[in-house]
Structure 1
């Protein structure tokens, strides 16, 4: 009996995965595929399709207990408050133009502030990787520090949601919060120049970030990396290692994955 072609299996896996990002066991997905295709799906065919989707970062996976795969989408369990963007606010610095300054801040002052001189620190633009704003941070920063006496390594994953001057809203806080499903720390980065009309919302945004354990970084002048100011420190999430591992596997570049693996194992990248 012929088996489904590669493209058909890839598309069916994406269609069958829950849109809210709930993981599905590999064996369950194979059974679902068999029913959908009305024919058996071999282990080789399934895992080949899964690996292709992992390679193009359409899905993530969780290791252990049979293995699971998940689809990240815009669906979010937390109720999102309505956006309160003001159409007449200035947009001299659109988000795409702010990406470079944010990278400079993360690789410079923010990294220095972590005081991890001996640790690996990776910064990656993830703004176009994944599905949906609720699971696609603009940047991810990963640190890996090996202990001197104890075995193993401490890995911390930070996610950053970048917003323009007009985009600093309560909804933006919830976007940053949603992304912590896959990370240890979540941050909202807001381009808010001194004297901006949007400063009237600052106290409210600070309060919401503090209530939800989300870090708030104010970027006053994108031309100066040192103008970044941490207004609220994030709280560390007890995100499962398997969830973070699957997220990083689907988001990091091959070069960064190799560097992280080498750092965790104590080898030279």
Structure 2
């Protein structure tokens, strides 16, 4: 059924309204064979339940669900500590702390001083005797908040972070906005982590197809600003662990995700 869902969504990818009859004809043509009698109606109902298409009378069009950013936090927090993210970001779990920084801690100074998540990792190079700290700031946006302005918000985090990412749903209906966001990220050295968003059980957000679309450039914030940010936004337990890791203690097996 997943292949049929994908074809239906591709047929509706321009966001234009179609008749149900037209959609059926175009879907059958794209599939290259007669539609499964039971599976096709079930596919439409599933996509409708996930708010990926809307049906009004005999008209159908593609839609995209959206959620408040706070409702997306748990899913993003889970992903950024997943094996896919750890591998892509070149993290070692025993040398890394994940901290939710959207709320709590001391208030930041200046505009756009609170990324939603921050990853602190102590890196050791093969031929460099000195360990060094990298802070990775991640700014989460929902569909409505995904814009070039959001890229500049992420860019502001490089005052204190070595790498900054914008994390947002991939919009299939607002392709021009997504293209502008991607180009702006590339221009300013901001990473872009995107995902597909639909509606899961209990009307909760469902995440799929996470993709690192743009890799960030490493920045060089003032060390004092980095320290001040950690003091302001990380809890005391995370600060102490980070100090121990920086001192050479490798805490493998401990989950450093902090809310």
TM-score, length basis structure 2: 0.63
Report if aligned partners of 1:119, 1:143 keep a CA contact under 8 Å in 2: no
Higher strand share: 2
The 1-side partners of 2:250 and 2:85 are apart by: 24
Match of 2:175 among 191, 196, 199: 199
Among 70, 81, 90, the residue aligned to 1:107: 81
How far does the alpha carbon of each residue in 1:4-47 deviate from its partner, in whole angstroms, 9 at most, with x for none?
xxxxxxxxxxxxxxxxxxxxxxxxxxxxxxxxxxxxxxxxxxxx
How far apart in 2 are the matches of 1:147 and 1:118? 16
* 2:103 corresponds to: 128
CA separation in 2, counterparts of 1:163 and 1:182? 20
Retained in 2: the 8 A contact 1:91–1:164?
no
Secondary structure of 1:263's match?
A: helix
Name the counterpart of 1:145: 123
Within-5 A mapping of 1:2-151: 92-108=66-82, 109-117=84-92, 119-129=94-104, 130-131=107-108, 134-147=112-125, 150-151=128-129
Aligned-pair distance for 1:112?
A: 2.5
Sort the Cα spacing of 1:150 and 1:144 in 2 relative to 1 into closer, same or farther, 3 A: same
CA distance in structure 1 between the aligned counterparts of 2:125 and 2:185, rounded to whole angstroms: 31
After TM superposition, where is structure 1 displaced by more than 6 Å over at least 4 residues in a row? Answer: none
**Deviation per residue, 1:146-200 (Å, 9 max, x gap):** 356643312110111111011111111110011110110111111225x3x2233
Q: Which residue does 2:245 correspond to in 1?
A: 263
Q: Does 1:176 align with 2:154?
A: yes
What is the distance in 2 between the residues matched to 1:267 and 1:216?
Answer: 32
Unpaired segments ≥5 residues, structure 2: 1-62, 198-204, 252-259
CA radius of gyration, larger in: 2
Q: Give unpaired runs (5+ residues) of structure 1.
A: 1-88
- Change over 3 Å in CA distance of 1:90–1:158 after alignment to 2: same
Structure 1 residues 92 and 203: alpha-carbon distance in aligned structure 2, compared to 1, 3 A threshold: closer
Question: How many angstroms apart in 1 are the aligned matches of 2:130 and 2:184?
Answer: 35
Are residues 268 and 204 of structure 1, via their aligned partners in 2, closer, same or farther at CA, if it must alter by over 3 Å? closer
State the alpha-carbon separation in 2 of the partners of residues 234 and 200 from structure 1.
Answer: 21
2:140 is aligned to: 162
Cα separation, 2, equivalents of 1:107 and 1:165: 22
Moved more, 162-171 or 114-123: 114-123
1:250 equivalenced with 2:232 (yes/no)? yes
Q: CA deviation at 1:223?
A: 2.9
In 2: Cα distance, 1:168 partner to 1:118 partner = 30
Alpha-carbon spacing, 1:183–1:208, altered in 2? closer, same or farther (3 Å): same
TM-score by length of 1: 0.61
